[in-house]
Amino acid sequence: FSVTKKATTPFDGQKPGTSGLRKKVTVFQQPHYLQNFVQSTFNALPADQVKGATIVVSGDGRYFSKDAVQIITKMAAANGVRRVWVGQDSLMSTPAVSGVIRERVAADGSKATGAFILTASHNPGGPTEDFGIKYNMENGGPAPESVTDKIFSNTKTITEYLIAEDLPDVDISVVGVTSFSGPEGPFDVDVFDSTIDYIKLMKTIFDFESIKKLLASPNYDALHGVAGNYAKRIFVEELGADESSLLNCVPKEDFGGGHPDPNLTYAKELVDRMGLGKSSNVEPPEFGAAADGDADRNMILGKRFFVTPSDSVAIIAANAVQSIPYFAFGLKGVARSMPTSAALDVVAKNLNLKFFEVPTGWKFFGNLMDAGMCSICGEESFGTGSDHIREKDGIWAVLAWLSILAFKNKDNLGGDKLVTVEDIVRQHWGTYGRHYYTRYDYENVDAEAAKELMANLVSMQSSLSDVNKLIKEIRSDVSDVVAADEFEYKDPVDGSVSKHQGIRYLFGDGSRLVFRLSGTGSVGATIRVYIEQYEKDSSKTGRDSQDALAPLVDVALKLSKMQEYTGRSAPTVIT
Ligand code: VG1
Ligand code: CO
């Protein structure tokens, strides 16, 4: 093949958000749009991570992925990349990509130094919906802000990109290596089935045999995302679950028209099956889980029971050493994102573990893990993971829960009453107290209005006495705000500082209100309100969460003047 230099001009707004660049497919389909971003990324990397390097290109299989794989492959060839690794049919979950970067070795002994992950995660897909792209680094984790800032600045000055226009399209539905020869030497496209690599990795972490004995096959809803491929292989073929326990496990370019976000609103079929939605006279199963489009998120359900993600990571951390072989030698530390509830903090304190609070987005956990300071981490947004890779991992979380269930029931396999998901959560609350938690999302709000709402919340922070006066007028039954700020994070490993990471109001009794603007949407603004209240008294940990939080919710909405600014009387989604 030969290399062509194409002249181009910059596009506005190619700034990577919380997790890459996410826009409507039609935006990505504009001539040069994807190309500009990809070349800006190559130009932001050290030369040896491009020339002669091995790069992964794959994603959640959403609409436009197959075209994008061909374009990026041709640009990689032209930029001197030695080989690209592509998942069969362009499919590779985000955690699988992270694992492949870290573990996979080419025939000549080389490893990948990075990956273009083609996903907009939990956003809908299809010709009129979202596409996304992000770059992960040599450690398997999302590019840090120093790199994404450089990519963004390159997108503003780009004048040309390199592409091998005459490189034929490679058939990515077939496993195998195709070799080409270019001006700088050979170039290979290696198409493979990443479920094999991923299962191998999971087997180094979990005891599949003891999970299998439990016979509690998960009911798994992949919402037509890429998780379906892995679920079939792991839950059915490896762990012996019945095929009928899988829901929506065939990956589709448009996720079957659905919203591939594993929560009580969007994972409807699973929610019904688990007895939390439409009532039916079929007895629900004991364990259910769901994933998002790129399979890094998870929702864990018991029979008629929802596990809050903030509780999930705390419970996994509290039980990991006994239940999961990978952690048998102890945890190096634990971490959560700022808006995630403090359930994990209480576990860390009790178990005397190092603890970190980082901004939203997985990239901040990576540094801690690389430095050997953190083993398990999580976010309230249905993200849980560990230092086996540098992304959150939806199927890992399910296997972690199955391992905990297997451990709690290990002396109990004779048909006695099983310890259930709900039992485990209630026992946890009994020991550590409960963090009542809810998140209100206002999606696709006018961007200006959202900015003003946030600015008002910041300016109010200058006088806590005024804030408390206001709050007392709204509800007399909540405690006083004792501190308020915008969260700022100094990375303990590299000293980098991230500012404006969410507005916090901290109450005397440990309750918190947090306000953030989403960094993953593709149109307008999404306002997230995170509401949390701690209850230590074990006689009061069994309340309905929305009831318990009603006073604080009231305060959050009135203090922020939500309806006045946004015109919305109710959130789009409550989790
Ligand atoms: C959201 C979540 C955040 C998560 C991010 C990426 O970001 O709140 O916790 O890390 O999505 O997840 P934001 O900026 O919209 O609040 V995924 O599964 O989209 O890669
Ligand atoms: Co995701």
Confidence class for position 215, pLDDT limits 50, 70, 90? low
What pLDDT shows up at residue 152?
Answer: 96
- Residue 382 CA to ligand 1 center (angstroms) comes to 9
Q: Looking at residue 413, what is its pLDDT?
A: 59
Task: State mean pLDDT over 505-512.
Answer: 92
How far apart (Å, rounded) are the C-alpha atoms in residues 65 and 550?
43
Residue 392 belongs to what H/E stretch? none
**How many residues does the structure list for the chain?**
575
Residue 371's pLDDT band, with cuts at 50, 70 and 90, is: very high
Ligand nearest to C-alpha 519: 1
Separation CA 366–CA 137 (nearest Å) = 10
Q: Whose CA is nearest to atom 6 of ligand 1?
A: 19
146, with CB counted inside 10 A (0-12, 13-18, 19+), is exposed
| Mean predicted confidence (pLDDT) in 1-26 | 93
Task: Quote the tokens at residue 200.
Answer: 């191998």
Q: What is the pLDDT of residue 414?
A: 62
Q: Domain 434-574, what architecture?
A: 2-Layer Sandwich (3.30)
- Name, of 12-21, 315-324, 550-559, the range with top average pLDDT: 315-324
- Report the C-alpha gap between 23 and 3 in whole angstroms: 28
Q: Are 534 and 511 in contact (CB under 8 A)?
A: yes
- Structure confidence at residue 186 as a pLDDT band (50, 70, 90): very high
Amino acid in position 324: I
ipTM of the complex: 0.96
Ligand 1 binding pocket includes 360 (Cβ within 6 Å): yes
CA of 122 to the centre of ligand 2 (A): 5
Question: For ligand 1, is residue 98 a contact (CB within 6 Å)?
Answer: no
Of the chain, the percentage scoring pLDDT greater than 90 comes to: 81
- Element containing residue 204 per DSSP (H, E): none
What SS3 class is residue 336?
Answer: strand
The tens digit of pLDDT for each residue in 269-314 reads 999 999 998 777 788 989 999 999 999 999 999 999 999 999 999 9
**What's the topology of domain 4-192?**
Alpha-D-Glucose-1,6-Bisphosphate; Chain A, domain 3 (3.40.120)
Gap from CA of 272 to ligand 1 centroid (Å): 25
Q: Is the CB of 441 under 6 A from ligand 1?
A: no
Tell me the percentage of the chain whose pLDDT exceeds 70: 98
Beta strands in 308-427 (DSSP E): 334-337, 355-358, 376-379, 383-386
User: Which of 29-43, 156-170, 247-261, 535-549 is least confident?
Assistant: 535-549
What pTM value is reported for the model? 0.93
- As a whole number of angstroms, the distance between CA 218 and CA 216 comes to 6
The reply to whether ligand 1 has any atom less than 6 angstroms from the CB of 362 is yes
Q: What DSSP letter does each residue of 13-73 carry, written as one string?
A: T---BTTBEEEEHHHHTSTTHHHHHHHHHHHHS-GGGTTT-EEEEEES--TTHHHHHHHHH
Beta carbons of 78 and 188 less than 8 angstroms apart: no
Q: pLDDT at residue 214 above 90?
A: no
Q: DSSP string spanning 207-269?
A: -HHHHHHH--PPEEE-TTSTHHHHHIIIIIIIT---GGGEES-S--TTGGGS----STTT-HH
Across residues 27-46, what is the average pLDDT? 97
- For residues 370-385, average pLDDT: 96
Q: What is the mean pLDDT of residues 219-229?
A: 94
Side by side, the strands of the sheet bearing 334-337 are: 355-358, 334-337, 376-379, 383-386
Distance CA 184, CA 410 (A): 58
Question: Could you give the CA distance from residue 387 to residue 390 in angstroms, rounded to a whole number?
Answer: 6
> Which atom of ligand 1 is nearest the CA belonging to 17?
14
More confident site: 133 or 416: 133
Query: Does any ligand 1 atom lie closer than 6 A to the CB of residue 22?
Result: no
Give the active site residues.
121
pLDDT class of 216 with cuts at 50, 70, 90: low
| Domain layout of the chain by residue ranges | 4-192, 197-432, 434-574
Q: Do the domains at 4-192 and 197-432 have one common CATH topology?
A: yes
Q: What is the pLDDT of residues 55-100, one digit of tens each?
A: 999 999 999 999 999 999 999 999 999 999 999 999 999 999 999 9
Please give the pLDDT value at position 415: 62
- 394 band by pLDDT with thresholds 50, 70 and 90: very high
Q: In degrees, to the nearest 5, what angle opens at C-alpha 376 toward C-alphas 375 and 377?
A: 130
- For the residues 457-472, what does the mean pLDDT come to? 90
Ligand 1 atom closest to the Cα of residue 294 is 18
For the segment 492-517, the average pLDDT, to the nearest whole number, is 92
134 lines ligand 1 (CB under 6 A): no
Model confidence at 396: pLDDT above 80:
yes
**DSSP 8-class letter at 101:** H
| Closest ligand (CA of 226) | 2
Question: From 3.40.120.10, 3.30.70.2200, 3.40.50.300, 1.10.3720.10, which CATH number describes the 197-432 domain?
Answer: 3.40.120.10
- Give the per-residue pLDDT at 411: 79
pLDDT tier for residue 512 given thresholds of 50, 70 and 90: very high
pLDDT of residue 535: 85
Protein residue with least CA distance to atom 13, ligand 1: 518
Quick one: which of 93, 164, 130 has its CA closest to 398? 93
